Chains A and B, each alone.
Chain A
């Protein structure tokens, strides 16, 4: 049986990996040049605990469960997570009341370990918080990860288990027979299929529309961020939320996996035709600066490394739309994956495989005996004990050549990233963290261009930053 997963974001990637446990012929089709470059690339990267989601919503159903699944998943797929815990902090009596409500909602949603901490406990743990804080809701299961690494790891593991990955192809239509899809048409090819899983992120409504299936309209809700240097990274230890309002979780302060500090996101609804509007704005950045200072007064914005923007696939229902189509009998929607979609994704992958595809749709799947759940990440050489590093260099001199100085990434890791599919500068960056540090590629981007040139047998002028037209250099100065 042939399955096509549309979209290699965290949702599609984990769904494909889950399906690869069964005897199926699976293809992932992704329009970008790499995995996880849609919504999955730019978000808060939090594994939410699950107290924030309305009781009985799909969000509540999958968030706490997905959160718990990340422990095993991160071990199997070898990506990093850190259970930092999170605080929702209250500054007024009104906010204290909201926190108590959240506590209650979290209890019903099955969130483990929730506690309300008084001011002293809170300030002891987070001494740099604004001293006016009254109390905070502590959620020990909350954590952080690198969302694109989750997607990359899942796809690598899926591919090792026989899944095919097609990049740089956009799904533009479907060939149907009655109420069944027969073929998926892309801008370059067509693929026969027996089942389609629509995980196209912000564009999932359009893909469903192309298939003639149900959908909820998606509009982008912009979230801007400021990333600060590692020097600021230890100013707080857990994820700090303000008390949420009806529309948003608010602007947060949180550590990142590699030790930086992330501030954001804003929340501005955009027109539904603005799905590529990933630009940051003066107002947005100003708002982040002003607001986060009220949470952590000592933030130093001269330590800014970069700013960026993500777009949430928001629907009028404000909930995940996860179900089999009733009109197109072999089409499944994994749509409207706003926050906490990253957290929920593993639970959704399991749900869609077992309860939607097998039970509701009635597909009979048989488990493969030879499924290998283990994927190993690219070894971070700088973290090895000296002795081991020494040994490694003896066998592979590239393990001793530093390319990215700020994050100390060696040539061996960059070559490995290219072996695993990096074709662009951003491809290397998101796999290795080279160019991710404080100099932002000032020292190493040219060296990486040359390694890409060498490993891919290409000319520098053919190597792009992230998309086909994002060229970096043109011709030669002299022939």
Chain B
């Protein structure tokens, strides 16, 4: 098979990329290893998607559905149940599906494979290895897609958005959620979720605390929680035992990049595919967007970045070439940024997470400055920097200056 643009992963980013590549005249193959398009959206049955893009509050599946319908109007071959097994430097990829194993020759790729959840094992929490420990996404899939209750009494580790959303969801379905445990001195998710998912349901949030041991020979029986010091080390003597049969982890997402190992440069901080502001990776024919580049809070941002990557991938397939751009570097108080290179022309849309909560911070990017009342690591900043403010710089440093 031959195509102009191969889009790998049909989540929010991939669907947007496919659509915009097709609108820009490219023949597109959009592939996903899941049974249907939508990615993580399919399991998020809560409202809160699409405010920016569709100007409506939709559930995840509704948002995915809207987008799928748009795809039908264009020259897009959607292959589901179809896993991309490898991508080779000669611009060929091997796709595997129950319908067959075949090679696709493409002019460019948009890589939109999303993120995976950090699993329990990586946390090196001592204790037994019983059943009843779920990542939030798995818990969410069991509840929302498989229609299954995962336990009777649950503790949640990590106050990321998914963890808080699951705390509410479990409570609504009659599972007793005894607490949410967070290692940081502040919540790891959006403030609105702290209020709407925890406070409204009287679920306590224990900050500066962590799980130090899990117990249970077969099913989980007890979780030991302790307070941590400034270096996140458990403070002896502060242990508390929670008798629960379920532990739900919301301890972060990791961009999925393994398929592109050796082909593209990765961002050492976000661990995602390092891109320029047109979504181009260090391999000129590979573009990328969404959670495999940096983990986003909002699907709308993912969609916008997907569209951009799709558009430029289509232009690339037609023969257009782009400059590498100047590096964008991390300065003071900045945790992660996207993109990592700036190609002059368009204004620069920058995504920033601060390293820590700051009251009163000034964002400085080249000649651009903007003051923020409050910045939180859990709330990604999206900001458009006018091109004339960053013109002529050999490197663009992004910093958040404290007052």
A interface list, Cβ under 8 A from B: 226-227, 276, 278-282, 284-285, 301-302, 304-308, 382, 386, 389-390, 393-394, 397-398, 400-402, 405-406, 408, 438-443, 445-446, 450, 460-461, 464-478
Listed from nearest, the 4 A-B pairs whose CB atoms lie closest are A306-B121, A397-B98, A440-B119, A465-B131
Interface pair A279/B150, CB less than 8 Å apart: no
B124 with A279: CB separation less than 8 A: no
> Contacts of A466 on B, CB cut-off 8 Å?
131, 218
Q: How far is the CB of A464 from chain B (nearest CB, A)?
A: 7
Tell whether, in the assembled complex, residue B126 and residue A282 are in contact, meaning their CB atoms are under 8 Å apart: yes
Task: Evaluate contact between B96 and A305: CB separation under 8 angstroms.
Answer: no
A405→B117 CA distance, assembly (Å): 14
CB of A400 within 8 A of CB of B101, answer yes
List A contacts of B126 (CB < 8 A): 279-282, 284-285, 307
A285 to B124, CA, bound (A): 8
- Residues B96 and A400 in contact, CB atoms below 8 Å apart: yes
**Would you call A470 and B149 a contact (CB within 8 A)?**
no
Residues on A with beta carbons closer than 8 Å to the beta carbon of B121: 227, 304-307, 440
Most buried by B among A304, A439, A475: A439
Q: Is the CB of A477 within 8 A of B81?
A: no
- A442 near B124 with CB under 8 A, answer no
- For the complex with contacts A386-B101, A438-B116, 10 further pairs of A-B residues with Cβ separation under 8 Å are A281-B126, A285-B126, A386-B103, A393-B96, A440-B120, A472-B131, A473-B146, A473-B150, A475-B148, A476-B149
Q: Which of A308, A382, A400 has the most CB of B within 10 A?
A: A400
Shortest distance in angstroms between A131's beta carbon and chain B's nearest beta carbon?
25
Name which residue of chain B comes closest to A449, CB basis.
B146
- The residue of chain A having its C-beta at the shortest distance from the C-beta of B95 within the complex is A400
Given A305-B122, A401-B97, decide whether A473 and B85 contact each other with a Cβ distance below 8 A: no
Nearest B residue (CB) for A224:
B126
Complex Cα–Cα for A389 and B101 (A): 7
Interface residues of B in 93-128 (CB under 8 A from A): 94, 96-103, 116-117, 119-122, 124, 126-128
Tell me the complex Cα distance, A478–B148, Å: 8
Q: Are B138 and A446 in contact (CB under 8 A)?
A: yes
Q: Which residues of A contact B135 (CB under 8 A)?
A: 442
Instruction: Check B212 against A477 for contact (C-beta < 8 Å).
Output: no
Residues on the B chain within 8 Å of A390, using CB: 100-102
B243 close to A (CB within 8 Å): no
Taking a contact as CB atoms under 8 Å apart, the answer to whether B122 and A478 are in contact is: no
Given A402-B33, A474-B149, verify A408-B218 contact (CB < 8 Å): no
Chain A residue, CB-CB nearest to B144: A477
Please report the C-alpha to C-alpha distance between residue A393 and residue B82 in the assembled complex, in whole angstroms.
Answer: 13
Contact indicator B83/A405 (Cβ below 8 Å): yes
The smallest beta-carbon distance between B334 and chain A, in angstroms, is: 20
Q: With an 8 A cutoff between CB atoms, is B130 at the interface?
A: yes
Residue of A280, A282, A308, A469 touching B219 (CB-CB under 8 A): A469
Contacts of B240 in A (CB 8 A): none
Q: Of the candidates A386, A406, A438, A467, which one forms a contact with B94 in the assembled complex, judged by CB atoms under 8 Å apart?
A: A386
B124 to chain A: which residues have CB within 8 Å? 226, 285, 301, 304, 307
Q: How far is the CB of A433 from chain B (nearest CB, A)?
A: 15
The answer for the CA separation of A84 and B130 in the assembled complex, in Å, is 33
Docked CA distance A401–B85 (Å): 11
Residue of chain A at shortest CB distance from B143:
A477
Contact A439 B148, CB 8 Å, known A304-B124, A477-B173: no
Indicate whether B351 reaches chain A with its CB closer than 8 angstroms.
no
- Chain A binding site: helix, strand, loop or mixed by DSSP? mixed
Contacts of B149 in A (CB 8 A): 473-477
The reply to whether A278 and B101 form a contact with Cβ atoms under 8 Å apart is no
Note all chain B residues with C-beta closer than 8 A to A471: 131, 219
How far apart sit A440 and B131, CA to CA, in the bound complex (Å)? 13
A402 touches B83 (CB 8 A): yes
Q: Measured between alpha carbons, how far is A292 from B120 in the docked complex, in Å?
A: 22
CB-CB under 8 A from A445, the residues of chain B are 138
Q: Could you tell me the distance between the alpha carbons of A467 and B218 in the complex, rounded to whole angstroms?
A: 6
For A280, what are the chain B residues with a Cβ–Cβ distance below 8 Å?
Answer: 126-127
User: B152 within 8 Å of A by Cβ?
Assistant: yes
Pick the residue among B102, B131, B150 that contacts A464 (CB under 8 A). B131
- With both beta carbons as reference points, the residue of chain B lying nearest to A411 in the complex is identified as B98
Q: Are B116 and A443 in contact (CB under 8 A)?
A: yes
Complex-state Cα separation, A281 to B145, whole angstroms? 36
For B130, give its contact among A400, A406, A470 (CB under 8 Å): A470
Is B147 at the interface (CB under 8 A from chain A)?
yes
Chain B CB count within 10 A is highest, among A306, A469, A475, A477, for A477
Q: Give the residue name and chain of the B residue nearest to A459 (CB).
A: B148
A470 in contact with B101 (CB, 8 Å): no
Given contacts A285-B124, A405-B83, contact A477 B98 (CB under 8 A): no
**Known A470-B131, A476-B148; contact A394-B100, beta-carbon cutoff 8 A:** yes
Residue among B102, B147, B151 making CB contact with A476, cutoff 8 Å = B147
Please give me the residue from chain B that is nearest to A460 by CB atom.
B148
What are some 26 contacts across the A-B interface (CB < 8 A)?
A: A278-B129, A279-B126, A279-B127, A282-B213, A305-B122, A308-B129, A382-B85, A393-B99, A394-B100, A400-B100, A400-B101, A402-B85, A405-B83, A438-B119, A438-B258, A439-B116, A439-B119, A442-B135, A446-B141, A446-B146, A450-B146, A467-B217, A471-B131, A473-B142, A474-B149, A477-B149
Give the chain A neighbours of B138 by CB distance below 8 A: 441-442, 445-446
Q: Which residues of B contact A393 (CB under 8 A)?
A: 96, 98-101
Q: Which residue of chain B has the shortest Cβ distance to A475 in the bound complex?
A: B149
Chain A residues with CB under 8 Å of B102's CB are: 390
8 Å CB contact of A400 from B99, B119, B150: B99
| B189 close to A (CB within 8 Å) | no
Kindly list chain A residues whose C-beta atoms are within 8 Å of the C-beta of B97.
400-401
Collect the chain A residues with CB atoms within 8 Å of residue B128's CB.
278-279
B215 at interface, CB cutoff 8 A: yes
Contacts of B142 in A (CB 8 A): 446, 473
Give bound CA distance, A472 to B143, whole Å: 12
Q: Mark B176-201, 1 if CB is under 8 A from A, else 0.
A: 00000000000000000000000000
B97, B152, B218 pick with most chain A CB within 10 angstroms:
B218
Among B120, B132, B217, residue most surrounded by chain A Cβ atoms (within 10 Å) = B217
Q: Which residues of A contact B173 (CB under 8 A)?
A: 477
Any A CB within 8 A of the CB of B163: no
Please give me the residue from chain B that is nearest to A282 by CB atom.
B126
The answer for the CA separation of A398 and B101 in the assembled complex, in Å, is 12
Q: Cα distance A285–B219 when bound, in Å?
A: 23
* Distance in Å: Cβ of B142 to nearest Cβ of chain A: 6
B158 interfacial by beta-carbon distance below 8 Å? no
Q: Provided the pairs A304-B122, A478-B147 are in contact, do residues A439 and B218 lie with their beta carbons within 8 angstroms?
A: no
Cα(A441)–Cα(B133), bound, Å? 11
- What is the bound-complex CA distance between A460 and B6, given in angstroms? 37
Structural contact, A474 and B151, CB atoms closer than 8 A = yes
Asked if B137 CB lies within 8 Å of chain A CBs, one says: yes
Known: A285-B126, A442-B138. A401 touches B116 (CB 8 A): no
In contact, B116 and A473 (Cβ under 8 angstroms): no
A477 and B147: CB pair below 8 A? yes
Query: Which chain A positions have C-beta within 8 A of B85?
Result: 382, 402, 408
User: Complex Cα distance A439/B94, Å?
Assistant: 22
Q: Does B217 contact A397, Cβ atoms closer than 8 Å?
A: no
Among residues of A, the one whose C-beta sits closest to the C-beta of B135 is A442
Q: How far is the CB of A48 from chain B (nearest CB, A)?
A: 26
Interface residues of B in 203-233 (CB under 8 A from A): 212-213, 215, 217-219
